Structure 1
Amino acid sequence: MSKRRKKVRGNPAVRRVQPGPVGQPGGLRAFREARRAGQDASVAPQRRDDVKDGYLSAANRRAAEGADSNPHLLLYSLLGVMVLLFAYLHLYALPQMNYFAGGFSMPDTRLFGYSVEDIERLRSVMDSDGTGQLSFLHRTAGILFPISFLLFSWAVVGLVMRRGIFRWIVLAGAGIFAVVDIAENFLIDHILTMEPLEDGMVALASGFTVASWTLLLIVGAVVIGSVLMGLIREGVERPAPRFGPRRRPHR
């Protein structure tokens, strides 16, 4: 005689599922029944992978980790934009302006400032086309670069740096740099075209240039160093991949 299984009377939704040992194939139905019965789903056997930390499988875990790293993609995008603008402004466009100045460098590129004699020399060799080209460069890339640097620093402070007053000091330094660098551009345009040339305006523009380069080097080193340290810290704290035992194929 064949033995028949007795049917369980009552609501099947409230049946308690006894979870078996980890590693036995239970399928998705066992997981759903364990969830419906209010049991811990992390011990319910699955068909392929056990539920760990609320994820059904390793693929879902990797997808969730990818979603968590989306803010860092914004951080790296801002870094790329900032580096491209810096390279275009200080390594390509401003050196090209030496053609309009008889081989003399632009005031923006002088880290230690400039004197009245330097500005007089530039004024004597630069015509209206040269000063117009420099003014246009200051109003485009000369404004976009400090803004991109400020946004990048803001992203680093919010995503990488740990809480504390130091990160607000870094953000304030980036904001001051943006203001000083933009103001320096307009001061240089003014002293190259003003009549007569005033020594005080030249000293003010030179001071803004030195302050701009100083803030850029200090704050830039801090934020880029924070990004590198964050990458190193993530690599150290990232757990090693786990390789489970090989399972025999079902025949």
Structure 2
Amino acid sequence: MSRRRKTNRGNPAAPPASSDAARGSAGGSGAQDSDVGGLRAYRRAKREGRDPSVEPTRSGDRRPSTPSARRSAPGRSNPRLLVYALVIVTLLLFAYLHLFAMPQMTYFAGGFSMPGARLWGFDVEDIERLRSVMDDDARGQLNFLHRTAGILFPVAAFLSAWASVGLLMRGRFLRWGVLAAAGLFAVVDIVKTFMIDSILGSEELSESAVGTASSLTVVSWVLLVVVGALVVGSVVVDAIRRSLQENRTP
């Protein structure tokens, strides 16, 4: 009778100790298997001095094994794509404005190039020559071009430089220098286009106004060459470096 009470004491629904131990060992091995490559492996790699960056931070967080799989992983965003897109849009605007639209305007100006397209500036004689061959329709088309692509291009150039400085460039002085030069270029280029429109449409020419517009044109071209080379160069170098790093990653 006492023996029966001893054996039935406690929770009658509790499983035998031997089965608990078996399940505990099985569960322990399963937990260890589930933790392989997870948080435990991450901590072990840090203790052993290995690079833990290839290990996921949680069990179940498995990183893609190949570079192409990592690039196509869901939820993975690449802000560099925005920089590349801005640079491409800026290059297309430059090609449209200075390689297509401005050369087309020479047909309405007796074969003379537009003042804003002259890298070395212009003088009073150049403006007088343009005023004598350009009618109101030609000046209106040039004014419309300045108000559209002539404003969009410097703004896009500034945004491209801003994005490149924030993501691709290193060095505090370089970044601030490029950003300041890009902002100065945008302001100078827009002011230059307004001054050219005002000079071509004015009744009397002012030598000081022509000289100022010519100087702003030269400064804008110099700033464009410097900023454009730095921005495009940073994009190309970053793309090459990332491609080499992804090819080295197993």
TM-score (norm 2): 0.77
**2:142 corresponds to:** 134
My pick for the range that moved more, 122-131 or 221-230, is 221-230
Shift of 1:229: 1.7
**1:229 corresponds to:** 237
**1:92 corresponds to:** 100
Q: Rate the CA distance shift 1:152–1:41 in 2: closer, same or farther, 3 A.
A: closer
SS at match of 1:105: coil
1:75 aligns with 2:78: no
Q: Rate the CA distance shift 1:33–1:7 in 2: closer, same or farther, 3 A.
A: farther
The one of 8, 21, 44 equivalent to 2:20 is 8
Unaligned runs of 5+ in 2: 1-16, 45-52
Q: Deviations over 1:69-95 (max 9, x none)?
A: 621111111111111111110011111
The one of 79, 104, 109 equivalent to 2:112 is 104
Q: Rate the CA distance shift 1:183–1:235 in 2: closer, same or farther, 3 A.
A: same
CA distance in 1, matches of 2:181, 2:37: 55
Shift of 1:133: 0.5
The one of 211, 218, 226 equivalent to 2:219 is 211
**What value does the CA root-mean-square deviation take over the aligned residues?**
3.1
Q: Which has the larger Rg?
A: 2
TM-score (norm 1): 0.77
2:164–2:234 contact (8 Å) kept in structure 1? yes
SS at match of 1:70: coil
Shift of 1:68: 5.4
My pick for the range that moved more, 68-77 or 95-104, is 68-77
Unaligned runs of 5+ in 1: 21-29, 44-50, 243-251
Shift of 1:232: 2.6
- Counterparts of 1:14-163 in structure 2 under 5 Å? 16-17=28-29, 30-31=33-34, 39-40=40-41, 52-54=54-56, 55-56=61-62, 58=64, 64-66=70-72, 70-163=78-171
SS at match of 2:19: coil
CA distance in 1, matches of 2:201, 2:178: 35
How many residues align structurally? 219
2:63–2:70 contact (8 Å) kept in structure 1? no
SS at match of 1:217: helix
Q: Deviations over 1:206-250 (max 9, x none)?
A: 0010001010011111111111222232234345253xxxxxxxx
SS at match of 1:103: coil
Give 1:58's aligned amino acid.
Answer: P
CA distance in 2, matches of 1:233, 1:34: 28
My pick for the range that moved more, 147-156 or 221-230, is 221-230
Identity of aligned residues (%): 49
CA distance in 1, matches of 2:138, 2:187: 25
Give 1:120's aligned amino acid.
Answer: E
Give 1:7's aligned amino acid.
Answer: S
1:42–1:53 contact (8 Å) kept in structure 2? no
Q: Deviations over 1:133-170 (max 9, x none)?
A: 10000000000000111111111101111142111100
Shift of 1:57: 5.0
Give 2:177's aligned amino acid.
Answer: I
Q: Rate the CA distance shift 1:170–1:121 in 2: closer, same or farther, 3 A.
A: same
Q: Deviations over 1:69-124 (max 9, x none)?
A: 62111111111111111111001111111111111110011000001000000001
CA distance in 1, matches of 2:245, 2:40: 32
Higher RCO (C-alpha under 8 Å, 6+ residues apart): 2
